[in-house]
Structure 1
Amino acid sequence: MTPAPPTDPRLDRALGAFYGLALGDALGMPTQIMAREDVVRVYGTLTGFEAALPDNPVSAGMPSGSVTDDTEQAVIVARLLTEGGGHIDPTAFARELLDWEREMKAKGSFDLLGPSTKAALDAVARGTDPKEAGRYGTTNGAAMRVTPVGIAFAADDLEAFLDRVVESCQVTHDTTVGIAGAAAVAAAVSTGIAGGTLDQAFDAAIAAAAAGSRRGHWIAGASISARIGWARELVAGLDEAEALDRIVALIGTSVASQESVPAAFAVLALTGGDPWRSALMAANLGGDSDTIGAIAGAIAGSVRGLQALPADAVQTLRTVNHLELEPLTAQLLALR
């Protein structure tokens, strides 16, 4: 059975985005940092939630259906947005992330943070101004957690929208590359929530990534905007296995924003924006599969809505992770 749709269709799509993020995160959790060949060897084709293998250095011990830092940091962003009336204070954000890191370490998880976020938080802990800590962050940590910005704000006024995106990036990923990746994801989600199609979400992401690349500290790197457009063409007409191999070989699935963000859009093109299939395809990639899945799931969910997510999978996410995203999502949408 599919859940009954909320009265406001935008709320259905907003919940689809937030739970879609969690869905992609949890499906990709056991295959993260695995080579595509190893994913095929161990799982054949991943078809649903799996527990992490005991030898996975990042997710070992995590039960089937568990979310990771992608979802947990997105919840932090969402909460700070609602508490700040639509703004994220960098000092408060740094404090929240440091508290979250300590909590994770207390639970025995020491390798959940991406390299840019870890470096930035270490700098803040040493006394660096949170407004300056993210000047070298180029990986996908900002893109993985930016979905609440896309829920809370319309992307019609792109420069004003980018101001909000930058606030969510500043502490850890205040660079041309980090902001471009986050802008692409946020704009695609915002477009879906406004009722846009997958093609319109692609177009919004391409435009936002190009504009976002003019914000923050300059970092040499390929254009995320151009690579999103190229990714869509790269998988056209291919069967799923061939397409996944091509994504790994030519786009890449690392934590680099120029790889994982376009890879998520390639998955969306491959599945036509189906949330469950998009999240599963990302999980079968390996590499930074949880983040690629989180991005693809959020965008697909924003276009198709919560109704398009399998009800049993959503219930698993709620039960395993004690996840209750409805109140927070409604608060985000109220900012819009």
Structure 2
Amino acid sequence: MAPAQQGADRATDRAIDRALGALMGGALGDALGMPTQTLSPREIKETFGRVTDFVAPRDDHPVSRGLPAGTVTDDTEQTLLLAKTLLASEGAFDDRRWVEVLVDWEADVKARGSYDLLGPSTKRAIDAIRSGVPPAEAGRYGDTNGAAMRAAPVGIIMPPEPLDGLIAKVAETCRATHNTSIAIASASAVAAAVSAGIGGTGWRGASALAVKAARHAGQHGHWAAGADIATRIAWALKLVDGRDRDDALEQVIALVGTSVAAQESVPAAFAVLSLAEGDAWQAAVLGANLGGDTDTIGAIAAGMAGACGGFSTLPADKVSRLRGIDLGEVETLVSALIDRRLGDQRQRMTAAS
């Protein structure tokens, strides 16, 4: 095999490892935060002490009761559904296909006996589309974190440069459910961090690109009142920099916030990524103990960390205990996403030469 081909193969293998790290890291954060989501930090401490491994939720948990320890939730399931929809969409993202996928998923979740896991923005948009509202208008009020929580596949399929191309693809995937400046900026930040990680950038560089992406993406979608996402992410990173970890986590809870609001949970996830120093499992642990939207914060933070470190850095014993996710299926999705990413890059290089 020619040296150039060997180098290309190694680059592809590294990209696949990091893309798999993004999706499986996200699953770890999701599953670890599953039993603590919606609980306050005090309730988490009283019930579990400190969550450092997969645990089952309380019998009276409003959302997760009955789920076995280590089970993934809507964060992971919708992320994988978005990956499949991206691969099935030729050219522009297929809004109607995506809405149909979400509707079918909601029906399947209820058939399995689970609780309604659609986020407020997604549910409102689907109800609007069912009432005849065009998909491009249905998401005009979606400003929560649903788009950001499932944005990793966009970061896998799209390279970080040109950044405007990545942001445009994020905006397409947000259009039907989260077509607001806040949601698009949040999802663009996460996708940019994942994309940078897959390209070989460490978590610090990925965070810097995320801030840049959020700043540019804020011009997309319908304007929504709320704090600027790029500014909030940069502020959250500065807030925890150099602080004792316990003190920093208290600052995240008290000042950044951990609700489903995108301008709280997404900056909180970047703060967690920093405090974990890019370690996916530590990001999952920190996210699980924050209170509030723990599974989403953990999934975003650990997913970005996994993209920057790779699947090979994830704890194999924890990955093997995940429930509700098929590693083989994820590997197949990742290979297809990376094939699309590298194929598009080759086409751009050929066109430019």
Question: What amino acid maps onto 2:325 in structure 1?
Answer: N
Instruction: Work out the CA distance in 2 between the residues paired with 1:152 and 1:14.
Output: 9
Long gaps (5+) in structure 1:
none
Q: What amino acid sits opposite 1:141 in the alignment? A: G
2:251 to 228, 246, 249: 246
The C-alpha deviation readout for 1:45-73, integer Å capped at 9, x for no partner, is 11111112111111111111111111111
| Correspondence for 1:82 among 72, 83, 87 | 87
Letter in 2 for 1:104: V
Higher relative contact order (Cα pairs below 8 Å, separated by 6+ residues)? 1
Structure 1 CA distance, aligned partners of 2:325 and 2:68? 10
Residue identity in the other structure for 1:8: D
Residue number in structure 1 paired with 2:289: 284
Alpha-carbon separation, structure 1, partners of 2:92 and 2:76: 20
How far does residue 282 in structure 1 lie from its aligned partner after superposition? Answer: 0.3
2:265 aligned partner, one-letter code: S
Match of 1:19 in 2: 24
User: Structure 2 stretches of 5 or more lacking a match?
Assistant: 1-9, 342-353
Q: Does 1:308 align with 2:313?
A: yes
2:62 is the alignment partner of 1:43 = no
Q: Displacement of 1:320 after TM fit?
A: 4.5
CA distance in 1, matches of 2:283, 2:325: 21
Q: Which residue does 1:129 correspond to in 2?
A: 134
- Size of the alignment, in residue pairs? 331
Give the CA deviation at 1:154. Answer: 0.5
1:269 CA displacement: 0.9
Q: Residue 6 of structure 1: CA displacement? A: 9.9
Higher-Rg member (1/2): 2
3-state SS in 1 of match to 2:196:
helix
Q: 1:119 to 1:30 in 2, by over 3 A?
A: same
After TM superposition, the score normalised by the length of structure 1 is 0.95
The aligned counterpart of 1:63 is 68
2:340 match = 335
Equivalent position of 2:325 in the other structure: 321
How much does 1:86 deviate?
A: 5.8
Q: Which residue identity does 1:189 align to in structure 2?
A: V
4+ residue runs of structure 1 moved beyond 4 angstroms? none
Deviation of residue 321 (structure 1)?
A: 3.3
Moved more, 302-311 or 111-120: 111-120
- CA displacement at 1:257 relative to structure 2: 0.4
Identity of aligned residues (%): 52
- Is the Cα–Cα contact under 8 Å of residues 23 and 294 in structure 1 kept in the other structure? yes
C-alpha RMSD over aligned residues = 1.4
CA distance in 2 between counterparts of 1:262 and 1:306 reads: 24
SS at match of 1:280: helix
Amino acid at match of 1:315: S
- Find the counterpart in structure 2 of residue 31 from structure 1: 36
Matched, 1:258 2:273: no
Quote the Cα distance in structure 2 between the aligned partners of 1:221 and 1:157: 27
For 1:78 and 1:226, locate their aligned partners in 2 and report how far apart those are by CA, in whole Å: 29
Instruction: Measure how far apart 1:335 and its partner are.
Output: 1.0
TM-score, structure 2 normalization:
0.91
Structure 2 contact 106–116 (Cα < 8 Å) conserved: no
